[in-house]
A and B are shown apart, each in its own frame.
Chain A
């Protein structure tokens, strides 16, 4: 596809944003607010530390409750259970020690109050159980075994190299990606990250055999369907043998076709480490890469 200055008009179709759709979930956690995590803190530093010419506009308020909840995640999750359970006990003890007959009829106002309180306690209990059940399971990443390598094909233009390196830096910073291989137009353009160590040359990475890769079943499947293929747990797939250049302990692999003439192989270090969001972003980045690499190939 020629990338020149074409005039293209999209016809007006359905609106950009759908009407509001309330998702049915229990609970509905939005992303946690600014909290102390490994990512850089979104809050600017206190005004006293500002050098000249720094930003002086409005700043967001600090959300103390949000920060506290995010930091004490486990405790907050089990809090409703304790509250509900203790209240349950308290109501029963109150009834027992006040000398009221243990009859739960709604005739006396005491019983009514007790029943309402019990119902609230049970609600809290159930809510706590649901929170505990949706705690995300932590799967620890596996260190990829291999050697670091950075092989860039010298035939491609400088801007394409910069774009490929940008793609690698984005992927390695935001996802669990630890290896990246880009094949386009019959050549291996980029092999970066951790790669399997070659048996013949110690300390060198296994080179990508492009001919063998193009004939392999994984490549053919992906090229035929034109869609991304996500192997969430690589040890379950026999396709592992067709990707010998990836480290042996690669846990997840995304095979992303680059248009019709290439493939990007992204290896990760966590089982099911790539989320839906990552997959969507990888698809769009791949389209951009394809355009850039095609342009570089044409020139």
Chain B
């Protein structure tokens, strides 16, 4: 019996194994100005929820359609473990916010009813009780989507968009070795591709790699860009970080940080590269660099994302 194979979304998008290899080669070669490499869209299908119109019956129908189709459904089921999904089928309407819309709508109707009845006749205490309860329920319903965001379930939704005013760049320090350049090119590619990231900055030792959409006001040469970023980083003090720093919502934009980050930043994650060597008495430096990721969606990095980002950052240990 042949084993069932699942076409993973990433391999469907990347044509050959050469994808990653090309990234590394690009990293060690000279990057000329005109041809800025554009990457494939990040993982999207990975987060797709159960198909809208499918119910139990449709699932069964699909079971007979073929072994592969069944495998795909069972794979999707591993993330979405409910049988039925409530949906109105209106594109563009986010059903998780439905309690909020209902709460606001019905709450306003209750108020309307109250003022309408108080103008015409006396308001009984029973009605007042009922209305008070209704208002409380409306407030609670309005808060439900906010609470639901923090529950442990399903996958984060890719709600990112490309903000205006940023330029896509890909620069690397000239003094990096060939293997370092390959590693940096591959790591930045992988981070942009597999996480909800718009821009990435990797600083290891005195080598810098910047990739993605950044706030570049004027056209600077590659070397100037690197120098500019280095001076910005000096002022932020990220080299002193010892633990992951995660801003799930917009960081302060008027601080030093805000000047460096691209426009439309909503999430920021800074992962220090911890050094493996045992600290001696004189040297207490525990980090060798950091990886900075910027996203245009808030709450962009889940636990799993952060774990993988930590793993990628550990690649640069000891270099």
Instruction: State the A residues within 8 Å of B (CB).
Output: 1, 3-34, 37, 39-42, 44-45, 51, 53-61, 63, 65-66, 69-70, 73, 76-77, 80, 83-84, 87, 90-91, 94-95, 98, 100, 109-110, 112-114, 116-117, 119-121, 123-124, 126-127, 130-131, 133-137, 159, 162, 166, 169-170, 173-174, 217-218, 221-222, 225-232, 237-239, 255, 259-260, 272, 275-281, 283-285, 287-288, 290-291
Contacts and interface: CB of A to CB of B under 8 A. Distances in A.
B10 A279 contact: yes
Contacts of B36: 12
A124 B147 CA distance: 13
B3 A42 contact: no
Contacts of A228: 5-6, 8, 11
Contacts of A94: 126, 129-130, 133
17 contacts: A20-B159, A23-B94, A24-B94, A56-B237, A66-B149, A73-B152, A116-B134, A117-B130, A120-B102, A169-B314, A226-B11, A232-B74, A237-B3, A237-B4, A276-B43, A287-B21, A291-B21
B215 interface: no
Interface string B174-195: 0000110010001000101110
A59 B141 contact: no
A34 B248 contact: yes
A33 B161 CA distance: 21
A6 to B, nearest CB: 5
Contacts of B227: none
Interface string B42-57: 1110111100100000
Contacts of B87: 24, 26
Nearest to A28: B96
Contact of A32 (B49, B79, B93, B303): B303
Contact of B160 (A17, A42, A119, A272): A17
Give the residue among B18, B144, B284 with the most A Cβ atoms within 10 A: B144
A229 B14 CA distance: 16
A61 B110 CA distance: 36
A58 to B, nearest CB: 5
B304 to A, nearest CB: 5
Given A8-B26, A31-B303, A41-B243, A130 B86 contact: yes
Given A12-B38, A25-B95, A42-B243, 8 more contacts: A1-B18, A39-B303, A40-B244, A57-B237, A109-B121, A136-B81, A221-B3, A283-B14
B205 interface: no
Contacts of A137: 81
A177 B8 CA distance: 18
B156 interface: yes
B145 A28 contact: yes
Contacts of A116: 106, 109-110, 113, 134
A14 B38 CA distance: 8
A9 B23 CA distance: 10
Given A7-B30, A18-B44, A58 B252 contact: yes
B311 A222 contact: no
Given A22-B92, A117-B133, A284-B194, A55 B256 contact: no
A280 B8 contact: yes
Given A31-B156, A280-B46, A113 B113 contact: yes
B150 A26 contact: no
A287 B15 CA distance: 12
- Closest CB pairs A-B (n = 5): A31-B302, A109-B117, A170-B311, A27-B96, A287-B20
A45 to B, nearest CB: 8
Contacts of A227: 5-8, 11
A3 B25 contact: yes
Nearest to A242: B3
A216 B205 CA distance: 46
A57 B238 contact: yes
A13 B272 CA distance: 33
A217 B301 contact: no
Interface string B273-284: 000000000001
Interface in B128-159: 129-131, 133-134, 137-138, 140-141, 144-159
Contact of B151 (A10, A22, A29, A37): A29
B83 interface: yes
B59 interface: no
Nearest to A135: B153
A266 B122 CA distance: 74
Nearest to B160: A17
A40 B156 CA distance: 20
Contact of A25 (B96, B134, B257): B96
B141 A123 contact: yes
B43 A275 contact: no
Interface in B56-101: 74-75, 78-87, 91-99
